[in-house]
Structure 1
Amino acid sequence: MAHNRYREAQPSGENTIVDAEIAQLTAAGMEVLPFLRSSDEIPSLPKTAKALLPLSPIYAPRAQQELSRLITEHRPDVLHLHNPYPLLSPWVVRTAHRHGVPVVQTVHNYRQVCSSGLYFRDGMICQDCRGRALGVPAIVHRCYRGSRAQSALMATTLAVHRGTWHSVDRYIALTSAVADHLRDYGVPAERIVVKPNGIPDPGRPAPLGDGFLFMGRLTPEKGLGLLLDAWRRHPDGALGPLRIAGDGELRPLAEAAAAERADVTFLGPLDRAGVRAAIEASAVVVAASTWHDVLPTVIIEALASGRPVLGTALGGIPYLVGADAPREPAGTGPAAVASAAPGAGRVPLPTGVVTGETGWVVPPEPAALAAALSVARAEAARLAPAARARYERTFHPDVVTKRLIDVYADLAATARR
């Protein structure tokens, strides 16, 4: 299991998922050899290593040597790669293949194409580098760490390793949207498996609380500004409480909203117990991302706790709430008939609001989100049982771990043949 851990000062769902995956595989009887590096190691690197650090995304010689030794000693069946930057480099794929070891990669972002990995720039979705041999727009706009030089290096890395990424034996797409991204990049459909992350079972859901919870990084792409714009379209107290949890550059925005309205509470950053308590106190979890968010873990946490989700129709959010199948626009066609059929008393859907299996998705616009807030408040209790059922069926560790082991077994058998 190869992964370059993000800095501990930067909360990372990816680090958490890798740790959980190693634990779940080990518990299932697999022998897991962690090949982990951390960006926290960078300040303590020797001067010579620091001097070569700018080139490590393209080729990290020390990592290749250490990986070769590990493979030679243990002869693993599969190398499973998560994040290779900056200390591992995509070159680990070539190193594994040189030793005859097949490679799986879980795709957590869009960095095969986008230097920042987000498809998001200057407050808007951006795909300017899509289809280009070299991501010149990323260099012009300093998309990687706000530096033109580092952006040039990352854009060059992506160009150099295009063939490397196309040689990966199996991709794990966390959602159907990521699978679409990989196919657009040129990866054959037969090399892509859709397998979401799982989280530990929190146990039997507590009764629904009241109001809404927004939890995550307080950064522009997570949509706190969008949510507050929509929230202000309702009178104070009309929707119950809105709780905001997290930290980041938009913390002043959350604090100002809490000072402005009695129905908004800013909880700040929370530990695991605090997260559980905040979810249980609420009836609906909101994921208002304004970028193609790959797989917001907060949604899986909500489903595990039996809380439906209101999200924007971007990235993996429709998949997570079971709303990614093609549907008629709200208010017309068979969908409108279904919403008026069995289940009398259901709230008519405003234009743009789509009901999924375990929640609702809307365009990332304040008016649409404001309308959906009223629907979600009225309908939360109806969808709560389905939320927990979807978690058990799709995101429970037992389910996702078995799916992952099946991927490994298929690749190992193919390699032996």
Structure 2
Amino acid sequence: MGGIEVASATLAEQYVEKGHDVTVISSTPNVSPKHNFPFEVVWHPSPLELVRLVLGHDVVHQYNPSLRTLWAPMVCQRPVVCTVATWVRDSSGRRRLRDSVKLRALSRCNTVAISNAVADHLGQNDIPVIYPSFRAGQFPNVPSSPERSPSIVFVGRLVADKGVSDLLSALSLLPEGRSIPVSIIGDGPEAEALKGQTLHLGLENVSFLGAIHEPHRLMSIMAQHSVMAIPSKWNEPFGIVGLEALRAGCVPVISSEGGLSEAVGDFGIPFSNGSIEQLCTSLEAALSVPPPDPAAIALHLEQFTPEREANAYLNIMAALIGRNES
């Protein structure tokens, strides 16, 4: 499942644990029927079935606005909470007609943003921010290891927006960059081009490990590195990977625009998106600092627990239901 699907499933599980009846509606057909969710899932409902489902529930929570389904609670006059999890614009930064329609619809919803960066982007007043949750429990505890040798890890899709090409270019500018151990975890359409760039730049110690889906193995590999590079060219709306970096005891080097800085707080070392020179400087700084304090990290990560996220949404929903019944 992708990020929005995982976030939706996490919240639905929390709502069930807290005693609520939950139905999850997916606008896509069920291509893998072997699921064992603790809630009902309705796949690709017809418009009539969608209306029936909405009328059978007290409140609707849509995680990221979709015009294909958002019309139903509005027509049925059911309270709706809509979480905006990314930018309402195209990849070039332009707002298309459907983006304008989404924003108009959101102005009639109880909108929540996943970061202050997204809330500011929406241009509405007083949009509450509820940070996405991080399932720290699925990762093993990482012992403090101040003896980690300087090394860098990247975790993510190998696509142009994630900035791995910039990372390789920045490494070539570091005095020790050609020999420093670097692990690239992930796969994607840029993989072969990035491997070619690595050879061209003479980076001797870069390993492409492919995608790793097993949490314990992923955390074990991340925890062997002192720095995690998150060199996104685009503005990340938030950045769960930054929380994973902290859980692994890495110093995060982050692009400064967007919501990544909200995820990692004061633990991150920022650079301007797309600036290879600044990325090089930030990597050099990160490689020379001690690992973040485990107690401080644990305190920071408490902001991002599934229970805290779910309670924040349930408080909003309870107020809406009470208002609707009065």
1:82 and 1:70 mapped to 2: Cα distance?
17
**Percentage identity across aligned positions?**
23
Corresponding residue for residue 37 of structure 1: 27
Which runs of no fewer than 5 residues in structure 2 stay unpaired? Answer: 32-43
Corresponding residue for residue 199 of structure 1: 134
Q: Which residue identity lines up with residue 64 of structure 1 in the other structure?
A: P
Q: Which residue identity lines up with residue 207 of structure 1 in the other structure?
A: S
Change in Cα spacing, 1:29 to 1:254, as seen in structure 2 (3 Å) is farther
Which runs of no fewer than 5 residues in structure 1 stay unpaired? Answer: 1-7, 42-60, 122-126, 130-134, 136-154, 323-356
1:248 and 1:36 mapped to 2: Cα distance?
25
Deviation, 1:21, is 1.8
From 104, 109, 122, the equivalent of 1:163 is: 104
List aligned pairs for 1:12-411, cutoff 5 A: 12-38=2-28, 63-72=46-55, 74=56, 76-83=57-64, 85=66, 90=67, 92-111=69-88, 114=89, 116=90, 120-121=91-92, 127-129=93-95, 135=96, 155=97, 157-168=98-109, 170-183=110-123, 187-189=124-126, 192-201=127-136, 202-208=139-145, 209-210=148-149, 211-236=151-176, 240-256=180-196, 259=199, 260-273=202-215, 274-322=217-265, 357-364=266-273, 365-383=275-293, 385-392=295-302, 394-411=303-320
Deviations 1:322-374 (A, max 9, x none): 2xxxxxxxxxxxxxxxxxxxxxxxxxxxxxxxxxx221111121111111112
Deviation, 1:62, is 5.7
TM-score (norm 1): 0.67
TM-score (norm 2): 0.84
SS of the equivalent of 1:197 reads coil
Deviations 1:109-144 (A, max 9, x none): 223xx1x3xxx33xxxxx343xxxxx3xxxxxxxxx
1:110 and 1:39 mapped to 2: Cα distance?
25
Change in Cα spacing, 1:239 to 1:412, as seen in structure 2 (3 Å) is farther
Corresponding residue for residue 37 of structure 2: none
Change in Cα spacing, 1:304 to 1:407, as seen in structure 2 (3 Å) is farther
Change in Cα spacing, 1:272 to 1:171, as seen in structure 2 (3 Å) is farther
Deviation, 1:305, is 3.2
Deviation, 1:196, is 1.2
Corresponding residue for residue 54 of structure 1: none
1:380 and 1:96 mapped to 2: Cα distance?
51
Aligned residues: 305
1:244 and 1:39 mapped to 2: Cα distance?
33
Change in Cα spacing, 1:306 to 1:399, as seen in structure 2 (3 Å) is farther
Deviation, 1:382, is 4.1
RMSD: 2.5
Change in Cα spacing, 1:206 to 1:296, as seen in structure 2 (3 Å) is same
Corresponding residue for residue 416 of structure 1: 325
